[in-house]
Chain A
Amino acid sequence: MVRFKHRYLLCELVSDDPRCRLSLDDRVLSSLVRDTIARVHGTFGAAACSIGFAVRYLNAYTGIVLLRCRKEFCQLVWSALPFITCLENKGHRYPCFFNTLHVGGTIRTCQKFLIQYNRRQLLILLQNCTDEGEREAIQKSVTRSCLLEEEEESGNG
């Protein structure tokens, strides 16, 4: 196939400060990553990575971020991600870091991985939960997600 091959980095933004999530949007995020790359890899790195770089998906609630870059320069982006230590927005600095979960060739694989990952997270949460009320709520959402999956499966064959 004749196309530009991309790599998709599925990352998790981890931050103590909830305000960090508040100010999270794709423009802020992309500028953050670009700055970091420029800082780490210099002008060449910044230029190389800026081709085809995009934030394809972002969820402020879970902190999941999907970044796209060209396959050739994936290493540069990937290696720059650990150097992000804080999110700067409108003069505020919120300490945070990136946790790369998965690197995939298509969005689809990343989405599939994310499903698995979230499910695992939920189960871990369920196991570790001590509060009864909380436990119930988690149980509910887990079953719901599972039910939903079945629905989807049956709906789409």
Chain B
Amino acid sequence: MSNAKERKHAKKMRNQPTNVTLSSGFVADRGVKHHSGGEKPFQAQKQEPHPGTSRQWQTRVNPHSLPDPDVNEQSSSKGMFRKKGGWKAGPEGTSQEIPKYITASTFAQARAAEISAMLKAVTQKSSNSLVFQTLPRHMRRRAMSHNVKRLPRRLQEIAQKEAEKAVHQKKEHSKNKCHKARRCHMNRTLEFNRRQKKNIWLETHIWHAKRFHMVRKWGYCLGERPTVKSHRACYRAMTNRCLLQDLSYYCCLELKGKEEEILKALSGMCSIDTGLTFAAVHCLSGKRQGSLVLYRVNKYPREMLGPVTFIWKFQRTPGDTSESRQLWIWLHPTLKQDILEEIKAACQCVEPIKSAVCIADPLLTQSQEKSQSELPDEKIGKKRKRKDDGENAKPIKKIVGDGTRDPCLPYSWISPTTGIVIRYELNFEDTEETPHRWWIETCKNPDSVSLHCRQEAIFELLGGITSPAEIPAGTILGLTVGDPRINLPQKKSKALPNPEKCQDNEKVRQLLLEGVPVECTHSFIWNQDICKSVTENKISDQDLNRMRSELLVPGSQLILGPHESKIPILLIQQPGKVTGEDRLGWGSGWDVLLPKGWGMAFWIPFIYRGARVGGLKESAVHSQYKRSPNVPGDFPDCPAGMLFAEEQANNLLEKYKRRPPAKRPNYVKLGTLAPFCCPWEQLTQDWESRGQAHEEPSAASSPNGKESKLRRSEAPCAPMPKKPHQPSDEVGTSIEHPREAEEVMDAGCQESPGPESITDQEASENHVAATGHQLCVLRSRKLLKQLSAWCGPSSEDTRGARRAPGRGQQGLTREACLSILGHFPRALVWVSLSLLSKGSPEPHTMICVPAKEDFLQLREDWHYCGPQESKHSDPFRSKILEQKEKKKREKRQKPGRASSDGPAWEEPLAGQEALTLGLWSGPLPCVTMHCSRTLLGFVTQGDFSMAVGCGEALGFVSLTGLLDMLSSQPAAQRGLVLLRPPASLQYRFARIAIEV
């Protein structure tokens, strides 16, 4: 019987009388019984003279026999009974003192004892059930457990005790209102508002909360993943159909003011090196959405703040610089604090004097925060009206989807999904008593009517496009639509493409070529007042349903006429996968910007048209398959990213500690130094010192002992100045180009004035001094392009060479490397890795440099899985055991000692808590050299990619290490690295690629 079962049984039988037998060898047994009688627990307990437990039977018998202390108590007191220590102990025939006669008193005592034992058994309940459950059925009454008085009086007292116990266990529930009152609408909204004081709910929260695992993140309650099993279904929706996400937790910053002033203020925060800036022509006209990475003012390439997307409001009169412009910057809530402060600072620098008249003067650069998190001071009583400044709390619905390459596939439509849902309501002739005054006024203006018609036409044309990826990236389209709730389908259906929509092929082609005309990007959503009125004049669901129920023919179309709302919306195309070479345009889709309060009204129709909803996990999967970095986890150099990494490490550590040591991997033995976090700082530092160790011998200076030791261990990676396959004439150009790169970069960062004149090494020192040993991620497009060309194997190298003249590519030479390293001594590079054969990487997987023999083996056998790491020894294990022993010893000694020893005893305990079995404690040793293969970087996202069909990973590698590895690898196998998950010893080959 298992222990728990035994205990349960014992509990059940605790009041039941046990067998009472006579023992034969009473004298002999007496001594033994206390200890060795344990064979039969009940019996042994029973037979102890003073059981201490409630064995009245025994206590009744023995006091009588006690006058004779130990010998023959029974027999001497006319002892007719002999105790027998069970069947095991009783040697027959020993000391047979057979009683000669019987006395009435013993007889009576035995009876009395039995009565008491039985009484106990009868009166006390033995089962685990409640009191009223012990009653026979016919005596049970309704609500007995609630009201004690309904029980028979003899049981009331026990029940009272039980009820008290139960009350303690039950958690305190506020009963100030009855159930009905709590469910009433007003009180419910009050309660909801109270519950979202700490973490703001999105408009679709209740819908999500019923279907998703919710997490509290970034000040919001967000759906993490659906409760249904839907990983693959979501992937299918991403690829072929439509995946819907609520992105209304994204924050929007609005900048108003003169164009040039805004541009001037923001120019310091972004760099031309990383791509287009706020001033990009297409974006500036309001035609496209732009995305970029923000830095602290004039701090590029360090002190990154985070990635943002932005849209400019469409400009009516292009070229008129005096016009006030509006700029919306959309960003992740974790980045908001930093970026907002920085932008505020930047804008104040521009207009320090006039800040007082900021609101009055429309020409001023005025930064205005409009994120949903700004609302604690607003009235809460109204129904979920969490108002911030005007219309700014705009939920964006992000639709991610993609057409496959095959245009004939019936499900390869994303835009039709939107198209069917968003119905056009064009009632130009309606006039009187409609609440939507702004719309009437618009309708009076023939220009805007024609604009509206054009927008509608373009939207119709979008139906003819097979994939949103076909139109230019970031295209914006403004629309005004009718209430989507009115023609909600009866049943949930999948949106199918309408074949007749594809007829107008020429117009479609024109649209693809030219993009959406600039005028069509106009939308009333930019106007705060209009958005406010749209939000306030929304017909509530209740009213709508009431009107529907009052229809003459049930189920027919509801016609609201002039009362129907007109909702200005903005469609923004999301380009999907734009980097790399394969699967271009995968995962493209549309962002829909809606006025506040309309979230649910649009959400449900979207779903009824067959959109699948994803959570945070799905968005992570989407960005992984797109091979784009995920905010904020994949930005280790911005403060939000660091915070995220810290939190993640804590969570994982906690999870790890919850498992018993035998059931979790011993990371020390596996040679994983940091299984839960990526020590970027140390990685880059190690590589930097290694790089210096290389440089010195090449500069013919004397290598010191430590560095030579480092070098010795990585002999295969010894620098090779020139590759035989590279034409020597490239060397000349290679010296030229880094200089140019430097100049560009120095224009961006004004801190290092003109280091071109100094040598590379000096420059590097200069930079290191300037950066203050800070980590940065390489985002300069030029350098990334160069690196990505270098990364490919020789077959791709030829292609790279073909492109080379056009882009000014240069060969992989020592000089080129040095010049890059001079500027980025501690940089990380974002890489994507795809595994050659088996294996599926996971986050925190180590990226390592393969050794020479690995390549040899791989060349011999193409299916070679990869080398194995040998098991490491665990130096902490013995320490932990020692401490445990010590603790035990001290614990043993402690009762003897006085309490004054307390502090001295506690000290080693505190020290012991730092040690966890299976984790490296204390400062990490040299991370790069800890294992048999040199560590290059870490994976931040990784999984089996259903889009590609093999394991894929995304991560960062040290720039120094990457260049070092590339220059040392043979050309045919350049770009091969080894991946090793933290809980495994097996290395797997993967190909590295840098996608620009």
* A positions within 8 Å CB-CB of B: 18-19, 21-28, 55, 57-62, 64, 89-90, 107-108, 111-112, 114-115, 118-119, 121-122, 125-126, 129, 131, 133-134, 137-138, 141-142, 144-145, 148-149, 152-153, 156-157
Option from A134, A138, A157 in Cβ contact (under 8 Å) with B154: A157
Option from B18, B81, B121 in Cβ contact (under 8 Å) with A21: B81
User: In the complex, A119 Cα to B496 Cα: how many Å?
Assistant: 89
B108:A138 contact, CB within 8 angstroms: yes
A138:B116 contact, CB within 8 angstroms: no
The residues of B that contact A149 with a CB separation of less than 8 Å are 115-116, 119
A62:B114 contact, CB within 8 angstroms: yes
User: In the complex, A120 Cα to B891 Cα: how many Å?
Assistant: 58
A125:B108 contact, CB within 8 angstroms: yes
Give 5 pairs: A residue, B residue, CB < 8 Å, sorted on A.
A57-B18, A60-B20, A61-B61, A108-B121, A112-B118
B87:A25 contact, CB within 8 angstroms: yes
Given A118-B112, A118-B114, 14 more A-B residue pairs with CB atoms under 8 Å apart are: A21-B22, A58-B19, A59-B19, A60-B21, A61-B110, A62-B110, A90-B93, A122-B115, A125-B108, A134-B103, A137-B108, A148-B119, A149-B116, A152-B124
The residues of A that contact B61 with a CB separation of less than 8 Å are 61
Residue among A19, A26, A121, A141 with most chain B CB within 10 A: A141
The residues of A that contact B17 with a CB separation of less than 8 Å are 57, 59, 111
Option from A21, A23, A60, A145 in Cβ contact (under 8 Å) with B115: A145
Nearest-neighbor residue (CB-CB) of B79 within chain A: A18
CB distance from A104 to the nearest CB of B (A): 12
The residues of B that contact A122 with a CB separation of less than 8 Å are 108, 111-112, 115
The residues of A that contact B157 with a CB separation of less than 8 Å are 156-157
B99 at the A interface (CB under 8 A): yes
Nearest-neighbor residue (CB-CB) of B82 within chain A: A22
The residues of B that contact A119 with a CB separation of less than 8 Å are 115
The residues of A that contact B525 with a CB separation of less than 8 Å are none
Residue among B19, B20, B124, B155 with most chain A CB within 10 A: B19
B104 at the A interface (CB under 8 A): yes
User: In the complex, A134 Cα to B200 Cα: how many Å?
Assistant: 85
CB distance from B613 to the nearest CB of A (A): 47
B109 at the A interface (CB under 8 A): yes
Option from B20, B107, B156 in Cβ contact (under 8 Å) with A125: B107
A141:B21 contact, CB within 8 angstroms: no
User: In the complex, A20 Cα to B113 Cα: how many Å?
Assistant: 21
B105:A137 contact, CB within 8 angstroms: yes
Residue among B24, B115, B124 with most chain A CB within 10 A: B115
User: In the complex, A80 Cα to B227 Cα: how many Å?
Assistant: 65
Interface flags for B630-670 (1: CB within 8 Å of A; 0: not) read 00000000000000000000000000000000000000000
B118:A114 contact, CB within 8 angstroms: yes
The residues of B that contact A90 with a CB separation of less than 8 Å are 92-93
The residues of A that contact B112 with a CB separation of less than 8 Å are 118, 122, 141-142, 144-145
A152:B155 contact, CB within 8 angstroms: no
The residues of A that contact B154 with a CB separation of less than 8 Å are 153, 157
* Chain B stretch 140-170: residues in CB contact (< 8 A) with chain A: 154-158
B572 at the A interface (CB under 8 A): no
A25:B114 contact, CB within 8 angstroms: no
B924 at the A interface (CB under 8 A): no
Nearest-neighbor residue (CB-CB) of B155 within chain A: A157
B570 at the A interface (CB under 8 A): no
A138:B22 contact, CB within 8 angstroms: no
A111:B111 contact, CB within 8 angstroms: no
Residue among B16, B107, B124 with most chain A CB within 10 A: B107
Main secondary structure of the interface of A (DSSP, over half): helix
B111:A141 contact, CB within 8 angstroms: yes
B878 at the A interface (CB under 8 A): no
The residues of B that contact A60 with a CB separation of less than 8 Å are 20-22, 81, 84
A152:B119 contact, CB within 8 angstroms: yes
B98:A111 contact, CB within 8 angstroms: no
B20:A61 contact, CB within 8 angstroms: yes
B22:A125 contact, CB within 8 angstroms: no
A19:B19 contact, CB within 8 angstroms: no
User: In the complex, A125 Cα to B115 Cα: how many Å?
Assistant: 15
A25:B119 contact, CB within 8 angstroms: no
The residues of A that contact B109 with a CB separation of less than 8 Å are 137, 141
User: In the complex, A27 Cα to B158 Cα: how many Å?
Assistant: 38
B927 at the A interface (CB under 8 A): no
B87:A27 contact, CB within 8 angstroms: yes
B317 at the A interface (CB under 8 A): no
Residue among A18, A59, A114, A119 with most chain B CB within 10 A: A59
The residues of A that contact B21 with a CB separation of less than 8 Å are 24-25, 58, 60
The residues of B that contact A108 with a CB separation of less than 8 Å are 121-122
B105:A112 contact, CB within 8 angstroms: no
B56 at the A interface (CB under 8 A): yes
The residues of A that contact B20 with a CB separation of less than 8 Å are 58-61
Interface flags for B106-137 (1: CB within 8 Å of A; 0: not) read 01111111111011111110000000000000
Nearest-neighbor residue (CB-CB) of A26 within chain B: B19
B114:A114 contact, CB within 8 angstroms: yes
A115:B115 contact, CB within 8 angstroms: yes
Interface flags for B214-240 (1: CB within 8 Å of A; 0: not) read 000000000000000000000000000
Q: A115-B118, A144-B112 are in contact. Are A57 and B104 (CB under 8 A)?
A: no
A129:B104 contact, CB within 8 angstroms: yes
A25:B118 contact, CB within 8 angstroms: no
B269 at the A interface (CB under 8 A): no
B80 at the A interface (CB under 8 A): yes
The residues of B that contact A129 with a CB separation of less than 8 Å are 104
The residues of B that contact A118 with a CB separation of less than 8 Å are 111-112, 114-115, 118
The residues of A that contact B113 with a CB separation of less than 8 Å are 61
Nearest-neighbor residue (CB-CB) of B124 within chain A: A156
Q: A61-B22, A108-B122, A138-B104 are in contact. Are A148 and B98 (CB under 8 A)?
A: no
The residues of A that contact B196 with a CB separation of less than 8 Å are none
The residues of B that contact A148 with a CB separation of less than 8 Å are 56, 115-116, 119
The residues of A that contact B116 with a CB separation of less than 8 Å are 144-145, 148-149, 152
B419 at the A interface (CB under 8 A): no
User: In the complex, A148 Cα to B121 Cα: how many Å?
Assistant: 13
User: In the complex, A66 Cα to B158 Cα: how many Å?
Assistant: 29
Closest 7 CB pairs of A and B: A157-B157, A137-B105, A141-B112, A61-B110, A145-B112, A138-B108, A58-B19
The residues of A that contact B114 with a CB separation of less than 8 Å are 59, 61-62, 64, 114, 118
A112:B110 contact, CB within 8 angstroms: no
* Chain B stretch 936-988: residues in CB contact (< 8 A) with chain A: none
